[in-house]
Amino acid sequence: MALEHALLVALRERPAAGLDLARRFDASIGYFWTATHQQVYRVLGRMERDGWVTSRVVPQEGRPEKKEYAVTTLGETVLADWLAQPLQRDPVRSAVAVTLRGASYGDRDTVLAHVEELIADHRTRHAAYTAMAARDYPDPTALSGQALDQYLVLRGGLLMEETWIAWLTEYAAAHRPAHRTAAQEPR
Amino acid sequence: MALEHALLVALRERPAAGLDLARRFDASIGYFWTATHQQVYRVLGRMERDGWVTSRVVPQEGRPEKKEYAVTTLGETVLADWLAQPLQRDPVRSAVAVTLRGASYGDRDTVLAHVEELIADHRTRHAAYTAMAARDYPDPTALSGQALDQYLVLRGGLLMEETWIAWLTEYAAAHRPAHRTAAQEPR
DNA sequence: CCTTACATGTAATCCGTTACATGATTAG
DNA sequence: CTAATCATGTAACGGATTACATGTAAGG
């Protein structure tokens, strides 16, 4: 539903081929959207059919040629119209939360071990975002326009990672003491 | 993929009919999962066919009868197996973030107005969760087991709301000053 | 040659959303 | 008898995931 618009934003920032876009969704855009290359190719095909983007074949040195996509004026209009829509809260669908809430119906020690692993993963991601911010936006107060928006969305990624770490840590802490000291919970 | 497991957790907490579950997903479970009644009915049907749950018809006073579902021992096993799986970070797919990052390709004032509305929505939700926490868990330190898990997931909902408010506020603040002081942008 | 990385796709399947359909019961 | 609420569904469509398919080019 909105992958098309995420692609329009990405392509307006810089024209790119399908795989390039898929890689961006793995890396720099990954903190607010994920997409596989299959998905990207299919949606790009539909967008080209509808005239939102055009493609041109670009030969490369020592690599197979690629199809670089760019946004058309129609695509610009479509994006501007979409951006003018009222914002709705993003739908929540957290398998992690389901697991945490249901932990007493399974083996809690296993869940807690997995929570620790997940915390480590979020810490790693947080460190990566911090490094990106320091490298790409050393002086945030000087930013405006697109660069400011990009920085602020990266800030959102950072804040979300911090929240996940705080929440999962609180969850683990609330369960571990009772688990270490009291003999009341046999399993 | 995990709606079935969310339903298993909900039904282990308390057996219920399809509409009851859909209402719970609108209310108390809504801060970590959403589902419409159509979805719930279809998945419940499949789960009953697979023997994860059983249903019994319950007559009601002054209302049509309902089909109450409960988890079978097979369903308990399925849930326990699923809970033992390693936790993966929840996939991110935020149309809000796409909008924020792409704002310069549309009308920024409109986006900022919608951001303010969204902040208000998150504040409302945050207040509702706070009230739920005060009403249902007045003394969190006394909790353990399922009740503790439910409380901690509600805590996660609260933390997420706070993060959304902080992030959107930061976004608006970073854009508004340039907008108020400079005479370049009349409105 | 064989493997690896690059590049673009198709097909099958499953999940989710939206619109529609049906019937019971109560309140007006 | 009509409208509103409760309750359970079906059907159609589109989006997303997973597995598979094809071909180019460099490196060992």
pLDDT at B62: 75
Q: What average pLDDT does this structure show over B111-138?
A: 96
What is the C-alpha to C-alpha distance for residues B103 and A80, in angstroms, rounded to an integer?
9
Contact: B87, A150; criterion CB under 8 Å: no
Task: Judge whether B145 lies within some domain.
Answer: yes
pLDDT at A58: 84
pLDDT at B63: 79
What nucleotides of chain D have any atom within 7 angstroms of a protein Cβ?
6-11, 14-20, 23-26
My answer on whether B45 and B103 are in the same domain is no
Task: Judge whether A78 lies within some domain.
Answer: yes
The residue that leads in pLDDT, B66 or B169, is: B169
pLDDT at A180: 54
Max alpha carbon distance in chain B (Å)?
69
Q: What average pLDDT does this structure show over B126-148?
A: 95
What are A115-135's pLDDT values in tens digits?
999 999 999 999 999 999 999
Task: Judge whether B46 lies within some domain.
Answer: yes
The token pair at A132 is: 């990106």
pLDDT reading at B142 higher than 50: yes
CB B1 within 8 A of CB B53: no
pLDDT at B1: 67
CATH number at residue A17: 1.10.10.10
Domain region containing A71: 3-83
Residues whose CB falls within 8 Å of the CB of residue A185, separated by 6 or more in sequence, listed in order: A178, A179, B144, B145
pLDDT at A186: 46
Q: How far is the CA of A66 from the C1' of D21 (A)?
A: 18
Task: Judge whether A90 lies within some domain.
Answer: no
Beta strands in chain B (DSSP E): 53-60, 63-71
What is the C-alpha to C-alpha distance for residues A181 and A55, in angstroms, rounded to an integer?
64
My answer on whether B73 and B107 are in the same domain is no
Which of B29, B51, B83 is a domain's end point? B83
Which of B33, B56, B83 is a domain's end point? B83
List chain B residues with CB under 8 Å of A105.
Answer: 8-9, 12, 76, 79-80, 83
Task: Judge whether A141 lies within some domain.
Answer: yes
H helical segments located in chain A: 3-13, 18-26, 37-49, 73-83, 95-102, 108-136, 145-180
Count CB atoms within 10 A of the CB of residue B63.
7
My answer on whether B66 and B99 are in the same domain is no
Q: What percent of chain B has pLDDT over 70?
A: 94
List chain B residues with CB under 8 Å of A89.
Answer: 96, 118, 121-122, 125, 164
Which of A58, A83, A108 is a domain's end point? A83
Query: What global pTM score does this model have?
Result: 0.92
What is the C-alpha to C-alpha distance for residues A65 and A57, in angstroms, rounded to an integer?
7
pLDDT reading at B41 higher than 70: yes
Q: How confident is the model at residue B101 (pLDDT cuts 50, 70, 90)?
A: very high
What are B80-99's pLDDT values in tens digits?
999 999 999 999 999 999 99
CA distances from A54 to A20, A47, B117 (A): 16, 9, 35
Residue numbers of chain A with a pLDDT score lower than 50: 182-184, 186-187
Q: What average pLDDT does this structure show over B110-121?
A: 97
Kindly tell me the burial class for residue A134, based on how many C-beta atoms sit within 10 Å of its own C-beta (0-12, 13-18, 19 or more). exposed
My answer on whether B34 and B61 are in the same domain is yes
Task: Judge whether A186 lies within some domain.
Answer: no
Per the structure, the count of domains in chain B is 2
pLDDT at A187: 46
